[in-house]
A and B are shown apart, each in its own frame.
Chain A
Amino acid sequence: MARLTCVGIDWATAMISLRTLPTPAPGSPDLRTAGRLLWWLARQQAGILTLGVLWGIVWMGAQAAVPYALGAGIDAVTAEQPRAAAGWALAVLALGVGQAVAGILRHRMAVTNWIAAASRVQQLVARHAVALGADLTAQVATGEVVAVSSNDVERIGGAFDVSARFAGAVVSFLAVTAVLLNASPELGLVVVVGIPVTALAVGPLVRPLERRESDQRARFGEATELAADTVAGLRVLRGIGGEELFLDRFRAVSDEVRRASVRTARVRSLLDALQVALPGAFVVTVTWLGARLALAGEITPGELVAFYGYTAFLVLPLRTITEAAHKWTRARVAARHVLDLLTVQRTLDDRTTGADELPDGDLADAATGFVAPAGRLTALVCADTDEASRLVARLGRYVPGAVTLGGVPLDAVTTAAVRRTVVVQDKDPVLFAGTVADSLAVPGSGRVPASAALTAADADEIVEGLADGLATELPERARSLSGGQRQRLALARSLVVDPPVLVLDEPTSAVDAHTEARIGERLAQLRAGRTTVLVTTSPLLLERADVVALLDDGRVVASGTHRGLLRSQPRYRATVVREEDS
């Protein structure tokens, strides 16, 4: 398609179709203010927005014209002209069909606009999340991100969805008002003044209603949470007791929900009644005045019917306009949340310049004096597990530190080079939803096949036990597996990567002694000749290590073999051998 650029918008690209979504590149948004972000989004889909507005106008225009045709038809009936009446009946039919066709086209555009905006924001959030990586988790709670990607995205979509109807509402409102003013200035004035007044009249009720609704929602949320909590802890309740205690609590909360809901209903039913009464009063007034005008011969009976129809119709555009105002306000708030998320900056000191490679050699941390000799399996023992984890974070350059590999400071090379060379499996490695095979399909050296890694992590029996073996679908965080099984799969994944330097932080803490012993043996074989750091206090792993370093109070205070340290270091014994002292 030829490029058609006007007012800075490439209209060919802005004419989005669901077929082409998601867009290959969501672009770089204007992140200065929430309003600008929405405006930027609107420009990306200006084509379909414009089209939606056009169909919206046709759609509501057709609806507005129906009373006119009906009125004219009634006049034809009154005049005993069945042919003319049939003609107007055809006109009504044509308007109806036109409205149906324009309606569905408008609807399709509205949905497309909704999805185009929502999916683009989702793509932007996903890309930013990946870019922030380890940092995002530290800065923003997962729940917040999910709230943005569901609630806020929907609200932004909603603003684009309502736009077409809004345009139709404004145009048809103006058109109908003009027709009324033209037919009878008196009636026209009643409509022009009356409709906004009735719209404003319910205003004072809206705030108390919203307050009660939010109170009701909060209480309902509380009851839901309590019910969920009770059934989630059902094992405890059934095993230890306390069911009655919880039931009483739940009944009390549930009753409060009921009361709060009835309080809401009191206001809501009043509002519902007013929505009958106010437009109704209006219709009564117009009918009454119109009847008098008809009596005076100023308008025809058919016009009276048309006026009746117009006033009933005008409620719709008015409601749409209020809805649009409401949705746009919410979209602005939502856009601000998105903005906040998209402007989270990475705090890690990232390097994109400098050498893109690290040499082989010893991995050394200056702060503690820890050294992992090249090509060896080094175990790190520390009574304080947090202290060990801090060292691990430095070794992977997740926090700044004076760490060198083969004499080159990690700070001097690009982050990408560090990630390629040093892989850190932290204490809580996350397994993603997908098949077991998927979870092992990580970028790696290609030298360690998945089967070898599974065997080394003693995880092949887990895979055998699964219904579909490697093709078994695992849920989020592989929750269907036990803690020990998850650890073994995560270890297998790290082994598939086969990096020059692998740092494992307590990789077998949830694994039984039998299995741990097997893993210790096979891990040492598989990693032979590669640099491996293993944080553990388990003797079954320690005896496989080439070197064991004891970290205490921020320094490596001893290093040697497991057996040697057991003999010479009481402190070491105390940490690794958990025995009852009498």
Chain B
Amino acid sequence: MRPPEPPEALVGGPTQLPVAAPATVRRQVRALLARHRRPFAALVAFNSVAAVAALVGPQVLGRVVQQVSDGTATVAGVDRLALWFAVALVVQTVFTRSARMRAAVLGEWILADLREDFVTRSVSLPLGVVERAGTGDLVTRATTDVDRLAWAVRQAVPEMAVAAVTAVFVGGALVLTSPVLALAWLVAVPPILLSSRWYFRRAPQAYAAELTAYSQVNSALAETVDGGRTVEAYRLGEQRIPLTDRRIRRWISWERYTMSLRTVWFPSVEAAYVLPIATVLALGGALYARGTVTLTEVTAAVLYTQMLVEPVDLLLMWFDELQTGQAALARLLGVHEVPAPEVDEGAEPTSRAIRARDVRFAYREGRDVLHGVDLDVEPGSRVAVVGPSGAGKSTLGRLLAGIHGPRTGSVSMGDVALSTLPAETVRRHVALVTQEHHVFVGTLRDNLLLARPGADDVELATALQAVDADGWVAALEHGLDTRVGAGALRLTPGQAQQVALARLVLADPHTLVLDEATSLLDPRAARHLERSLAAVLAGRTVVAVAHRLHTAHDADVVAVVEGGRVTEYGSHDELVSAGGAYAALWRSWRDDGDNGQDGDDRAVNDGGTADVEPETQ
């Protein structure tokens, strides 16, 4: 059967974070085992003892058969043999327990090492790398890959280790019992090897596709439910049901394919297992008749041959899982391979002024987003960056905040290029707050303290007040100790933005880049917040990227960015009187609203509405 059409690729951002090469993974695994050498050696030793103890049974049985058929058996002798069997069982039990326990303890240490190493590495990634690759890939690694690795370390590795040790000892016992009869296994090797190789060449990709296809069945349904109102409004039900059925069909076609792979592999391997058993029996019969082997040897060899099936089978079955674990490990170790940025650890900016000179920048090679931007941000000034979406406003903001370095040209603070400063230095001077707000799982206090560890409640309260958040925080039953984030109290997007801004107030850098930082609040609240924030930020440099024009109106300087260039630059009044694109936009936005500025708020608050006369057309 040919593999079916692949499932639609899962669409996401391009994965730009590296995956560790196989050689690196092997090196790391060796290093890990070397670090835990002693417990690992002890583990192998305990497993070996348990495996050896398990070999006693067939020997006992073989002797009983021999003695009974020889007529040399006595009741006392049989009892003694049974006692040996029982003692061996006790040893096997005790050592199995201990080996399993040691395997778990060791495995958990290794897992803890790996996941802590991953998170430690992740939080020191350069911000530019995180911005470009997105956090989705990292989140997948932190969840799915850690999970898969844990599964492999907890299940596959111990099972395979035990199986390997057992196979070695049973095989050894078989050879010691009767080297001739042990040769019978040779007949099983070709079918097992050939069919397994055939299978493992196809299986991993097929199962990956099957899983993807299966998860797409669920994602189609999740979307239908999530967008239930959209489905109904646009009468999309007639499309969604066939879509689900199509996805189910695609998934099942992969299930059929993997089933066809197993239909070849399973019976081949299983039939191959009985070949040596039958061979030992037939061969043993012939050799015993000639007196070449003893009855003990034949019986024990038959039983050992049968015993060897299980570990060999386990090794084959877990092989897949181990590969999955290895792939997960490669992705976790991949964060090691992100090149460290070339930074000058000791450097400090020489002034507060930020200067951008002939800045060009591209996210993808050959596609510049900024085409030679010059911009001076004077200390203490308020600069508004306006322009159509996609014009490069946010990119310019990120460059001014030192998150990306320009492709050519320079962005410097004083004489020092921002991109040569380590992130820890940059953020003492300049911070960026975007539309994207993240509320960490934890208490509200945790969410604020990260900006200024050790801040007391008074400082936190002041920061919250500065962003108009003191009201709703005070109304929470547990105040600052309220648990927020996923699984706890969900803050509204507006509240999350307030928290982000409060962090900024606490971090207190002298320059702030605000990229649509209040866009998720309703217009009136946003205006109020900006006003109270301005009071706290007096004397700070503020670069505000905005799509609403009132922000521009309030700024000292307005930079209009269009098509990756600064097309207009000057104060609001200068630009309005210059009569360019900004002026036109401003006029249509404000219309003739310049009259009667007073009394806006009074009109909103005075409450009496009944007497307003509707205008009729």
Of the candidate stretches A28-36, A354-362, A524-532, A571-579, the one touching chain B is A571-579
Contact A565:B615 (CB < 8 A) given known A238-B130, A284-B82, A557-B609: yes
- Given contact pairs A74-B65, A234-B122, A251-B116, A570 touches B599 in the complex (Cβ within 8 A): yes
Taken together as a complex, chains A and B put the C-alpha atoms of A245 and B434 apart, in Å, by 22
Is B234 interfacial (CB 8 A cutoff)?
A: yes
Are A145 and B96 in contact, CB atoms less than 8 angstroms apart? no
Q: Is the CB of B262 within 8 A of A242?
A: no
Q: Is B471 interfacial (CB 8 A cutoff)?
A: no
In the complex, the answer to whether B233 meets A281 with C-beta atoms within 8 Å is no
Do the beta carbons of B92 and A396 come within 8 Å of each other? no
Tell me the complex Cα distance, A510–B233, Å. Answer: 22
Q: Is B350 an interface residue (CB 8 A)?
A: no
Residue-by-residue, is A354-398 near B (CB-CB < 8 Å gives 1, otherwise 0)?
000000000000000000000000000001010000000000101
What residues of chain B lie closer than 8 Å to A131, measured between beta carbons?
237
Asked if A74 contacts B614 (CB within 8 A), the reply is: no
- Nearest A residue to B82 via CB reads A288
User: Complex formed: what's the CA distance from A133 to B507 in Å?
Assistant: 46
Asked if residues B123 and A246 are in contact (CB atoms below 8 Å), the reply is yes
Looking at A121-129, A164-172, A198-206, the stretch in contact with chain B turns out to be: A121-129
Q: Is A211 an interface residue (CB 8 A)?
A: no
Interface members, chain B 177-222 (any A CB < 8 Å): 217-222
- Complexed CA–CA distance, A465 and B548 (Å): 24
- The answer to whether B93 and A104 have CB atoms under 8 Å apart is no
- Contact present for B233 and A287 (CB under 8 Å): no
Which residues of B are found within 8 Å of A103, using beta-carbon distances?
266-267, 270
Return A373 CB to nearest CB of chain B, in Å: 9
Within 8 A of B (CB), among A466-511: 473-477, 480, 482-485, 493-494, 497, 510-511
Chain B hits for A133, CB < 8 A: 228-229, 231-232, 237
B362 close to A (CB within 8 Å): no
Is B299 on the interface with A (CB-CB < 8 A)?
yes
* Interchain CA distance A258-B241 in the complex, whole Å: 45
Shortest B150–chain A CB gap in Å is: 7
Chain A residues with Cβ below 8 Å from B389 are 482, 484-485, 511-512, 515
Q: Which of B33-41, B99-107, B460-468 contacts A (4 or more CB under 8 A)?
A: B99-107
Residue A39 at the B interface, CB < 8 A? no
Where chain A touches its partner, the secondary structure class is helix
Pick from B225, B436, B548: contact of A235, CB under 8 Å: B436
- The answer, among B10, B154, B227, B229, for a CB contact under 8 Å with A432, is B227
Residue contact A225 to B75, C-beta cutoff 8 Å: no
With contacts A85-B285, A89-B285, A513-B548 known, is A241 near B451, CB below 8 A? Answer: yes
Whether B427 lies near A426 (C-beta < 8 A) is no
Indicate if A14 sits at the interface (CB-CB under 8 A). Answer: no
Contacts of A220 in B (CB 8 A): 150
A101: B residues at CB distance < 8 A:
267
Closest to B586 in A: A513
A402 CB within 8 Å of chain B? no
Give A261 to B141 CA distance when docked, in angstroms. 21
B282→A89 contact, CB < 8 A: yes
A214 at the interface (CB under 8 A from B): no
> Cβ of B270: which chain A residues have Cβ within 8 Å of it?
96, 99-100, 103
Q: Mark A253-270, 1 if CB is under 8 A from B, else 0.
A: 011011001101110111
* 15 further A-B pairs in the complex, CB-CB below 8 A; given A238-B125, A308-B61, A484-B389: A21-B252, A80-B288, A82-B289, A84-B285, A93-B278, A100-B271, A119-B252, A227-B146, A231-B139, A235-B131, A291-B64, A291-B78, A485-B390, A566-B591, A581-B601
Min C-beta distance of A284 to chain B, whole Å: 5
CA distance A559 to B142 in the complex (A): 55
Determine if A288 and B388 form an interchain contact, defined as CB atoms under 8 angstroms apart. Answer: no
B406 close to A (CB within 8 Å) = no
Residues on B with C-beta less than 8 A from A119 are 248, 251-252
In the bound complex, CA of A291 to CA of B67 (Å): 10
Tell me if B15 counts as interface (CB < 8 A to partner A). Answer: no
Whether the pair B12, A475 counts as a contact (CB closer than 8 A) is yes
Q: Chain A 171-210 against B: per-residue CB contact (8 Å), 1 yes, 0 no? A: 0000000000000000000000000000000000000000
B386 near A513: Cβ-Cβ < 8 Å: yes
The reply to whether B139 and A423 contact each other, CB–CB distance below 8 Å, is no
Which residues of the partner chain A approach B231 to less than 8 Å between Cβ atoms? 130, 133-134
Instruction: Number of A interface residues at 8 Å Cβ cutoff, please give it.
Output: 191
Contact in complex: B550, A269 (CB < 8 Å) = no
B259 contacts which chain A residues (CB < 8 A)? 18, 107-108, 111
Say whether, besides A134-B229, A242-B450, A570-B596, A82 and B285 are in contact (CB < 8 Å). Answer: yes
Which of B322-330, B375-383, B408-416, B520-528 lies on the face that meets chain A?
B520-528
* CB atoms of B64 and A304 under 8 A apart: yes
Q: Which residues of B contact A347 (CB under 8 A)?
A: none
| Residues of A contacting B57 in the complex (Cβ-Cβ under 8 angstroms) | 283-284, 287, 308
Q: Is the CB of A237 within 8 A of B603?
A: no
Distance of A82 Cα from B256 Cα, bound (Å): 45
Contact with B along A318-340 (1 / 0, CB 8 A): 00000000000000000000000
Give which listed residue, A96, A136, A514, A566, contacts B277 with CB less than 8 A: A96
Residue contact B388 to A149, C-beta cutoff 8 Å: no
Contact between A242 and B522, CB atoms less than 8 A apart? no
Is B165 an interface residue, CB under 8 A from the partner? Answer: no
With A100-B266, A225-B441 in contact, is A432–B256 under 8 Å at CB? no
Name the residue in B79, B244, B550 with the highest tally of chain A Cβ atoms < 10 Å from its Cβ. B244
Interface residue? B97 (CB, 8 A): yes
- Nearest opposing residue in chain B for A420, CB measure: B235
> Is A562 an interface residue, CB under 8 A from the partner?
yes
Is the C-beta of B86 less than 8 angstroms from some C-beta in chain A? yes
Complex Cα distance, B282 from A422, in Å, reads 83
Alpha-carbon distance A67/B108, docked complex (angstroms): 40
Instruction: Determine whether B68 belongs to the interface, using a CB cutoff of 8 Å to chain A.
Output: yes
Q: Which residue of B lies closest to A91 (CB)?
A: B278
* Stretch among A3-11, A47-55, A271-279, A445-453 lining the B interface: A271-279
Is A579 in contact with B588, judged by CB distance below 8 angstroms? Answer: no
In the assembled complex, the Cα of A520 lies from the Cα of B116 at a distance in Å of 52
Tell me the nearest residue of chain A to B424, going by C-beta. A241
Interface residues as binary, B255-272 with A (CB distance below 8 Å gives 1, 0 otherwise): 110010011001110110
> Are A443 and B427 in touch, CB under 8 angstroms?
no
Interface check A534, CB cutoff 8 A = no
Which partner residue on chain B sits nearest A92 by CB separation?
B278
Q: In chain B between 136 and 151, which residues have their CB closer than 8 angstroms to a CB of chain A?
A: 138-139, 141-143, 146-147, 150
- Asked if residues A78 and B295 are in contact (CB atoms below 8 Å), the reply is yes
| Given A82-B289, A272-B100, A553-B609: A130 in contact with B93 (beta carbons within 8 A) | no
Judge whether B161 is part of the interface by a CB distance below 8 angstroms. no
Decide if B30 is an interface residue (CB 8 Å cutoff).
no
| Contact in complex: A574, B603 (CB < 8 Å) | yes
Contact between A122 and B217, CB atoms less than 8 A apart: yes
With A22-B252, A93-B275, A280-B89 as contacts: A258 and B438 at CB distance below 8 Å: no
The answer to the question of B553 belonging to the interface, with a C-beta cut-off of 8 Å to chain A, is yes
Tell me the smallest distance from the CB of A387 to a CB of chain B, in Å.
12
Contact B504 A245 (CB under 8 A): no
Residue in A closest to B9 when the chains form the complex, CB atoms: A473
B174 to chain A, nearest CB (A): 16
On chain A, the residues within 8 Å of B554 by CB distance are 580
B344 within 8 A of A: no
Q: Mark B57-96, 1 if CB is under 8 A from A, else 0.
A: 1001100110011000111001101100110011011101
Contact A254 B591 (CB under 8 A): no
A160 at the interface (CB under 8 A from B): no
* A564-B68 Cα distance, complex, nearest whole Å: 115
Would you call B615 and A134 a contact (CB within 8 A)? Answer: no
Interface centre among A138, A254, A258, A552 (most CB of B within 10 A): A258
Closest to A289 in B: B82
Q: What are 7 A-to-B residue pairs whose CB atoms are below 8 Å? A: A73-B285, A134-B233, A238-B127, A277-B89, A287-B85, A510-B519, A561-B617
B101 cross-chain contacts in A, Cβ below 8 A: 265-266, 269
- The 8 Å CB contact of A568, one of B141, B154, B615, is B615
Assess whether B597 is in contact with A579, with CB atoms less than 8 Å apart: yes
Write out, one digit per residue, whether chain A residues 543-561 have a CB within 8 A of any chain B CB (1) or not (0): 1000100001101111111
